[in-house]
Chains A and B, each alone.
Chain A
């Protein structure tokens, strides 16, 4: 079926060319980082994880969101998702490839990556994260490919495909739960040390992931003249809305516990995100995240205001706008704030700020382009097969 990715119009090839150019920029910057070390990033002794790990966290959510199609379709036999489910699986593949790449570029000694396998350490959450991420990726490759091939041949998918699809459901939940456990089990990082972290992660994943997917599907609908199905879109929009409600609600729970209890450690990081903190050593007031976080809070609430009433939700231009701001809000929350705020204040209650360096941004651009390329090729195949089968 791969050959179907080789037939496209000139816009398709321009898009592929653009992605390859971005990948080249990322690769060049990675070579520099490989040679000179992570000194090219803005990470520090105090903020020892940054943009890369944050993108990993966000994209694990995007990958997990495929389950919002798989679960209704395979488990509840919700046929209206039948046409879309493979897109969810293929997007998960692209997202996980990006996750794994973000892990690798974050390592100080990437050549020793295999030490994680050579010296397996079950007490480390990172070990389990590796297992579930790879497991989920292979499940999606097998299930997505096999079901698409069945459709190409005009036969129903085999029974084992359904079994593996159902196995992938707990895997999807586990990848994001385990990723949340990377943070939620660490003593002394109060911002992360919260039992609701995994639930928050899942809620934000199940709104942001399907939102990205729905926007991309709208593009596919337009450029490939591919019918998504009105009911499927409406259902997906409803899922996104509910998940976003939970996401905002869970964040509200964090705010309550921190500010009603008034325990300093619980409040500090949140205060830093929304108002900034004073560094005791220098007396400087630092708050580079503040404008981003007020923007995120505003966009999150606005997206809910647009998504909850069915009149605005069912109006496509409004829906597209609401999805865009929802993605922006969740990305600022998880892709920028969550990781960094865990390190602020530092272990000495000092404040060292962080914003990604140009090297980090270029490498990340390259990885996002790789993900986009994988998704483009896989979706192109899926659309071609489905149009030929119809």
Chain B
């Protein structure tokens, strides 16, 4: 008998179908098979929601490093951010001068107060984030509520996002950070060497119905809220005050605003 290619393909197809069906029923029958209980997973009942989370920092209310220190400490303690000296440092929240913070806003004869002030810097949670665009594994991604989030489990450490971020918001773990964490927060993970990290707008706190750690520690100097809701407090503040964003000309549309 001569088997033609067509016959062969027919037989092969039927066999494959049969095997698939058999495997399917076998899976369904076996008790140990894992059925991901997706329907058993839900957001926390107190979780805070928004169309697009954003932040307004009233820079007039901060008068020196001692005003910033509690915020930075609250953030870095909460998230187990290591204190590493030198140029391979890791930071989520820090301060810098006006010129360093707003390099596209080079004002000649800048007001003394503005010139001497420090500015609180963190991830801008851009509406159009370049770091998300360049990440080859979706380890950094934008959530539906606008937060640019990091999945440290998936990050391969290629550091494309660090090249892509126009705000220097990202840090890489050049080494194991654990020895450099003075006091570990037992309810939040640390990171391992070889992954990138940054501010997450405290998604873990929002999930529990709490404001971000820096906002809480700022005692009203920072307002956090929904930019997508025209009636929100943050939108009223933005309507009433002149604000700056960092490097708006790049089209990234940062969600962090500064009242100067």
Contacts and interface: CB of A to CB of B under 8 A. Distances in A.
User: In the complex, A touching B, CB below 8 Å?
Assistant: yes
A127 B136 contact: yes
A126 B135 CA distance: 8
B150 to A, nearest CB: 13
Interface in B114-163: 130, 133-139, 154-160, 162-163
A109 B172 contact: no
Given A116-B156, A186-B130, A280-B100, A44 B88 contact: yes
Interface in B146-186: 154-160, 162-168, 171-176
B156 A187 contact: no
A40 B87 CA distance: 13
A44 B100 contact: no
Interface magnitude class on chain B: 35 or more
Nearest to A44: B87
Interface stretch (B26-34, B67-75, B202-210, B246-254): B246-254
A346 interface: yes
Interface in A22-69: 36-39, 41, 43-46, 48-49
Contact of B194 (A38, A48, A183): A38
Contacts of B156: 107-110, 112-113, 115-116
B99 interface: yes
A377 B130 CA distance: 43
B96 interface: yes
A49 B157 contact: no
Contacts of B154: 112, 115, 119
A37 B136 contact: no
Interface stretch (A79-87, A285-293, A348-356): A348-356
B88 A107 contact: no
Contacts of A183: 163
A42 to B, nearest CB: 9
A342 interface: yes
A228 interface: no
Contacts of A103: 158
Interface string A116-134: 1011010111110010000
A388 B125 CA distance: 65
B250 A187 contact: yes
B199 interface: no
Contact of A349 (B89, B99, B166, B176): B99
Interface magnitude class on chain A: 35 or more
A347 B254 CA distance: 15
A117 to B, nearest CB: 9
Contacts of B101: 348
A110 B194 CA distance: 9
Contact of B166 (A38, A43, A182, A187): A187
Nearest to B246: A347
B64 interface: no
A21 interface: no
A188 B250 contact: yes
Given A39-B174, A188-B247, A189-B163, A108 B137 contact: no
B193 interface: yes
A89 interface: no
Given A108-B159, A280-B100, A187 B172 contact: no
A124 B160 CA distance: 9
Nearest to B139: A115
A333 interface: no
A363 to B, nearest CB: 15
A184 to B, nearest CB: 12
Given A45-B87, A188-B250, A349 B100 contact: yes
A106 interface: yes
A81 to B, nearest CB: 37
A41 B174 CA distance: 9
A48 B162 contact: yes
B172 A348 contact: no
Contact of B134 (A37, A48, A113, A124): A124
A103, A118, A182, A348 interface centre (most CB from chain B within 10 Å): A348
Contacts of B106: 264
B170 to A, nearest CB: 8
Given A115-B156, A125-B134, A348-B101, A36 B168 contact: no
A37 B100 contact: no
Contact of B163 (A110, A115, A342, A348): A342
Given A48-B159, A188-B130, 16 more contacts: A37-B175, A38-B157, A39-B175, A49-B163, A106-B159, A108-B156, A109-B157, A109-B195, A110-B156, A112-B155, A113-B156, A116-B136, A121-B136, A187-B252, A188-B250, A348-B101
CB-based closest 5 A-B pairs: A108-B157, A108-B194, A188-B166, A347-B168, A348-B100
15 contacts: A37-B176, A37-B193, A44-B87, A108-B157, A110-B156, A121-B136, A121-B138, A123-B133, A124-B137, A125-B134, A187-B166, A187-B252, A348-B103, A349-B99, A349-B103
Interface of A: 36-39, 41, 43-46, 48-49, 103, 106-110, 112-113, 115-116, 118-119, 121, 123-127, 130, 182-183, 185-189, 264, 280-281, 342-343, 346-350, 352
